Chain A
């Protein structure tokens, strides 16, 4: 945008009579804030200065909002918009404020679905809310990855952390299938795996927050896992070693996800208030976990039909 176009929005009083007469009145340096380009540069420099001098806030879990807004989200956005062309439904089911536990299916060999879900919550919700993801301990063992995860707002998937975040009124995102979901073979795609011990349900019951079931379609096709080379996985200490059509055959190129079309649907919140006093009853926990699991599974099938129909037309 040129100087001429942007100036009317920020009229500079001393300069007003000369507006538009560029050759007569070159932009005076004492009113540089009337310039979009100038503001961008100033903001970028101020951001760099704050990072260099440590003048930013981090919460007790290590969430660095400024870094997430300025660096991490802008890096993920092209992937979200142009590569996976994510379409989102039911975003109104996320509360404008206050806590909720967002429970989603997990797939795709690499946990891109978690990152896309967090970006969907932030970008599509009118309140621009942040999703605090719960990750496996493996994430926090790996140098660099662990720190990026914390700065992005994630923490370890354990009940003390989940309940602490929920009590603080945060949106918490969890994938109860864990590695069973993300590391399953392509032939098992969109088949929800077991939901563990239902720890996520007890966290929601203890804190009396609603559970929002979320179905994610598209992540299964990003890295279709044809085989799992278990000896190498055991050697590396990872839960699986994926063999995909491109990995490890094409080397680093094999790390490029396939550009599948994604749909994310946020379901109706399941209230936990009516059974909150039975948080220690395993039957209540398993029933609620099953209910959430069924909802996600059925929505997955519907979303797949919709996507197929759209692709055919």
Chain B
């Protein structure tokens, strides 16, 4: 574990979204950090605006352009936290094309800006466990050293592979800058709002016929803690960030009290390509599952994220089931009592 060297000036991208706003506000509340600059191409609204309020200096800039370079240079930014990565296409904001532009071009521009910043000491990147790709020849548990075998179908996973490729190039060119890459499992928790939390909030959920993937989540609060430490302490390298243990999709659907509807994979693939609210990223996850080893994270950061089943349970407290567990338990008791009564009557 490394000692704490908090930077004076931090730049956080993507602060108009939930995670970016939370991280920026948390860093701003840390008295060891003098200035936190929040960057996004649209003004924060609603909850995000309240969280950022006065503590974070908001700068409106588009990371797909050269604008951030000036922000980094003018403010003598020492640490860049890159969170402006879209994990799902937003049909109201340009769809998949805009998502790819934001993820890939945005990262390229940001890295170009970082490369020219002499004061820069550290970059912290939000990546994803989707970086391992999907293949039937994959090991059951990925460590940080596992190489992807096949190119995934999903757009987000492809973007992540591209982004990590650019990061490797950046590491070579600026060996004086510490690069921390955090490969997050899907975020979950009572306050998280992702494509997966929306999926589990529906009454009837599609699953892949004949597949029951192993899923892993990380609780939003643990993700925030680890991002915070990545900024204030020195942890260069690539780390899986996930809660230990797994939950099968069928198990998650049942614990959430949802009704799973198995659909053949080709049909789901067609739906995913059509760009409806079931993406190819989700299909890849639901066929192959994704489990990572977090030994390196725990050794280096000294933080143990809450286990996947616990994080999922916290998420469930925020939604109500269609088939609540208590109801099923009550039915069980009623059947048992009925059988006992009829047996007693026969004898």
Contacts and interface: CB of A to CB of B under 8 A. Distances in A.
A302 B250 CA distance: 47
B329 A144 contact: no
B265 interface: yes
Nearest to A141: B136
17 contacts: A26-B344, A41-B336, A45-B335, A45-B336, A52-B323, A52-B328, A54-B247, A54-B253, A54-B255, A55-B325, A58-B248, A137-B136, A143-B211, A144-B210, A147-B212, A155-B139, A160-B141
B53 interface: no
A97 interface: no
A: contact size bracket:
35 or more
Given A27-B344, A29-B344, A54-B254, A61 B211 contact: no
Given A49-B332, A158-B137, A59 B246 contact: yes
Given A53-B257, A54-B254, A64-B248, 8 more contacts: A38-B343, A52-B323, A53-B254, A54-B252, A62-B246, A155-B139, A156-B139, A156-B140
Contacts of B139: 155-156, 158, 160-161, 164
B347 A60 contact: no
Given A54-B250, A54-B251, A55-B255, A61 B140 contact: yes
A58 B138 CA distance: 19
Interface in B119-143: 136-141, 143
A26 B245 CA distance: 49
B146 interface: yes
Contact of A58 (B210, B247, B335, B347): B247
B332 A46 contact: yes
A143 B254 contact: no
A48 B208 CA distance: 22
Interface of B: 136-141, 143, 146, 208-212, 214, 244-248, 250-255, 257, 265, 289, 291, 323, 325, 328-329, 332, 335-336, 339-341, 343-344, 347
Contact of A56 (B208, B211, B251, B257): B251
Contact of A60 (B253, B291, B336): B291
B212 A45 contact: no
B138 A45 contact: no
A100 to B, nearest CB: 20
A42 interface: yes
A207 B336 CA distance: 49
A137 B247 contact: no
Given A54-B250, A58-B251, A155-B140, A146 B211 contact: yes
Given A41-B336, A143-B209, A143-B210, A161 B140 contact: yes
Contacts of A27: 344, 347
B339 A41 contact: yes
A147 B211 contact: yes
B79 to A, nearest CB: 34
Nearest to B308: A60
Nearest to B137: A137
Interface in A126-142: 137, 140-142
B265 A143 contact: yes
A275 to B, nearest CB: 25
A48 B332 contact: yes
A9 interface: no
A170 to B, nearest CB: 12
B141 A164 contact: yes
B30 to A, nearest CB: 34
Nearest to A3: B347
Interface string A106-125: 00000000000000000000
Nearest to B288: A140
Would you list the 5 A-B pairs with minimal beta carbon distance, nearest first? A143-B210, A54-B254, A54-B255, A160-B139, A54-B251
Interface in A14-58: 22, 26-27, 29, 32, 37-38, 41-42, 45-46, 48-49, 51-56, 58
A29 B341 contact: yes
Contacts of A41: 336, 339
Interface string A138-181: 00111110110011000110101100100000000000000000
Kindly name the residue among A53, A59, A64 whose own CB sees the greatest number of chain B CB atoms within 10 A: A53
Contacts of B246: 58-60, 62
A143 B291 CA distance: 19
Nearest to A158: B139
A297 to B, nearest CB: 30
A209 to B, nearest CB: 18
Contacts of A37: 343
Nearest to B146: A160
Nearest to B210: A143
Contacts of A55: 255, 325
A42 B253 CA distance: 25
